[in-house]
Structure 1
């Protein structure tokens, strides 16, 4: 049964009306840029808990969060690239940083967080090229897992597929949290789910998908990885809630994995909203334990 905390959180999110701007398909790209908030950055409290460094890549900020050295505890080899959500048009938030910090502390792994290019100024061609180049450089130096939520989950899967197709070393594993797998957002089932979704609405999400695709077709696997093959990819942990329009495509990806005999573990929480593992709910903590166990198994190998 859905926890009381989760039900209250869903009600609070609904009352904010945060999804209203997605009720229409005529979103204005200039307004999206003008009203975009500044990206959140690691707080002072987070910096006291973790070792935080940053640099620039192609004039984009890239942060690295690692456990602070402790007596008797060595840093673990390898790391994670975390790709934040936000429909490819919104920047990283404090909720993302809190979740990432919990993952660093729980796993002992270093997590790299790129503030990748955003739409509408950039499209999939730019965003995936930036992320794939970062992955290539990091994977050459150490084992890497890919993790992302929402748009970042779709981007993580796309980058893994492109790395495979380019003959690059593969990530050790992928963690996909409510991933945006098909930017056309066109499944009939999504219309039935939408009244229960407290965060997303199809008209606006489809428009944001067109911005992301740019000159590429929305069914191009680089844009919508649901249309690619999972063959030869590393193990995947996939999380979604049933009150999320993107669950329709998560279920399709799970079905694709079964058909292709690809190693994918699918976790669907009934009654839960979009990106629920990030939200500090009782159900979120269960998801965090699964993610921690998965990363320990995948990154523990030499």
Structure 2
């Protein structure tokens, strides 16, 4: 059963759906989104320049500085930013015990597919140039950002370049053709992400490109060679099948996959970190899964756990 606190996410999407129907456009800065998340505490935020765009270092106290989560925010290519996701990524980084870098990329009105993927690839390469090895890097994102991080890993894989140690997808938008059966199955539960809305958002970023292009929609890709991937999605969201189908295709390609579907939750419910138990549980589940993949085991993990108790 969903908690009382988790209803904030549902109300947020219902409010935005109503505004959308009344003709109010979504803007690059959807400041109300960040209100869902509690301040993580004990985290510093430092701006950086990456490829001419502002990125944001997320630095939990005493976390492993040489383990980094590259985080790509969601927002349908029309909203979201390093600032709307700052607090949630703080919770994620604290739970894992690593630093994080939230990166910016072009919105759909600035450039079209595949420019955004190229920017995420460049960010991963930039981290390597800073001395953070791929084996100490996590690629993570939510919604559109999750689709971008998977596509970026595909590009690196195809080029024979080193890959991150793991990938993390929160309510990933992995099918810009919106072919999932969950669009109909969850139509009455998910007020905002109706198929017509998703089709419109996809058309804006694709700019005429084929929605079934494997880089635009990784569910149609050959995923062989990708690193382990953890996918989390809400049971009630219309994008649920994006995660389910990607998980099936990745498993068929020999990729290590962990798929977690959370009952009665909606899109990117992890944004309620620090306020809703479902969000905190999801984040901790991911942290436990990914720590060993970053080498945060044994004495290193014990030090992290002792800091959490303190």
TM-score (norm 2): 0.83
Match of 1:233 in 2: 226
Q: How does 1:280-299 map to 2 (within 5 A)?
A: 280=273, 281-299=276-294
1:20 aligned to 2:18? Answer: yes
1:2 aligned to 2:12? Answer: no
Q: Alignment partner for residue 51 of structure 1, among 35, 44, 54?
A: 44
After TM superposition, give the deviation of residue 136 of structure 1 in Å: 1.4
Give the Cα separation in 1 of the matches to 2:5 and 2:116.
36
In 2 relative to 1, CA 46–161 (structure 1 residues): closer, same or farther, beyond 3 Å?
A: same
Mean alpha-carbon deviation: is it higher for 264-273 or for 115-124?
A: 115-124
Q: Residues 82 and 104 of structure 2 are in contact (CA less than 8 Å); yes or no, is this contact kept in structure 1?
A: no
State the secondary structure of the residue aligned to 1:123: coil
Q: Residues 183 and 194 of structure 2 are in contact (CA less than 8 Å); yes or no, is this contact kept in structure 1?
A: no
Give the Cα separation in 2 of the matches to 1:202 and 1:248.
13
After TM superposition, give the deviation of residue 99 of structure 1 in Å: 1.0
In 2 relative to 1, CA 127–173 (structure 1 residues): closer, same or farther, beyond 3 Å?
A: same
Q: Residues 60 and 117 of structure 1 are in contact (CA less than 8 Å); yes or no, is this contact kept in structure 2?
A: no
TM-score (norm 1): 0.85
Q: Residues 10 and 198 of structure 1 are in contact (CA less than 8 Å); yes or no, is this contact kept in structure 2?
A: no
After TM superposition, give the deviation of residue 289 of structure 1 in Å: 0.8
After TM superposition, give the deviation of residue 156 of structure 1 in Å: 0.9
Q: How does 1:85-164 map to 2 (within 5 A)?
A: 85-92=74-81, 96-140=85-129, 141-142=131-132, 143-164=136-157
In 2 relative to 1, CA 137–268 (structure 1 residues): closer, same or farther, beyond 3 Å?
A: same
* Structure 1 segments of 4+ aligned residues over 6 angstroms from their partners: 45-48
Give the Cα separation in 2 of the matches to 1:52 and 1:157.
25
1:178 aligned to 2:171? Answer: yes
Give the Cα separation in 2 of the matches to 1:170 and 1:108.
20
Aligned length: 288
Mean alpha-carbon deviation: is it higher for 287-296 or for 160-169?
A: 287-296
Q: How does 1:184-223 map to 2 (within 5 A)?
A: 184-223=177-216
In 2 relative to 1, CA 196–170 (structure 1 residues): closer, same or farther, beyond 3 Å?
A: same
CA deviation string 1:120-158 (max 9, x = no partner): 221122211111111112135223110101111111111
Instruction: Structure 2 unaligned segments of length 5 or more: list them.
Output: 298-310
Give the Cα separation in 2 of the matches to 1:138 and 1:121.
24
Instruction: Structure 1 unaligned segments of length 5 or more: list them.
Output: none
After TM superposition, give the deviation of residue 285 of structure 1 in Å: 1.4
Aligned CA RMSD, in angstroms, stands at 2.8
CA deviation string 1:21-57 (max 9, x = no partner): 5569xx8xxx858x543779x99x9698333222223
Give the Cα separation in 1 of the matches to 2:176 and 2:115.
16
In 2 relative to 1, CA 270–46 (structure 1 residues): closer, same or farther, beyond 3 Å?
A: closer
